Amino acid sequence: MTRPAGERTLLRGTPPTQTLMEERNLYAPPAAPVADIRPEARQDSPWQLVAAIRLICGALVVGLIHTPFVLNRRVPGFADMPGAAIAILVAILIVVFVIVGLFIRAIYRGRLWARITYSLLAVGGSLPFTARYWERLLHSPVDGGIEIVQVLLEWSAVVLLWSGPTTRWFKERRSPTLESAAIGNRTLTER
């Protein structure tokens, strides 16, 4: 049985392609300007972005190691706390891990807002306390050293996130949607 050249068919046993699935979805918008980037396009991410994400993960692990030192310093009688209070602290740590994980995922997907927000939080949250880091290092070398390592990891990640190749990568992620929106607006106004 032969079919006309323009007709698309789906053979039994073959998986549908993305375009066939999109054609069948009556509720899908014609062109979503906020769509995720294609998985195959994500593989060409610069090494600076991958290194920045690894540094953010490293800072998160160092922060986890640093947490008992901070709690001993700021919470009197932390070692003698009941189990319920420690459970609350663990829940807070889990929430922090989830939030940072969402930032990492959004940065890896090319979301500019995540890169900006993480940069502001990392630098803005640690910059006012730089003088205290050296005091803590002199007072408690282990506590101060861990804190300085964490801050250096965060700042290094921010520098890599704003380096030239990473900035170009983020711009490339935005340009197809902006071009398609401009083309769509032009065709609407020309009609």
CA angle at 5 for the pair 4 and 6, rounded to the nearest 5°: 95
Per-residue pLDDT tens over the stretch 28-37:
666 555 555 5
2 vs 68: which has the higher pLDDT: 68
Q: Mean per-residue pLDDT for 43-68?
A: 89
CA distance to 23, 68, 94, 153, per residue, from 56 (Å) = 40, 20, 16, 7
pTM for this entry: 0.65
Per-residue pLDDT tens over the stretch 127-173:
888 778 888 888 888 888 888 999 999 999 999 999 999 999 998 88
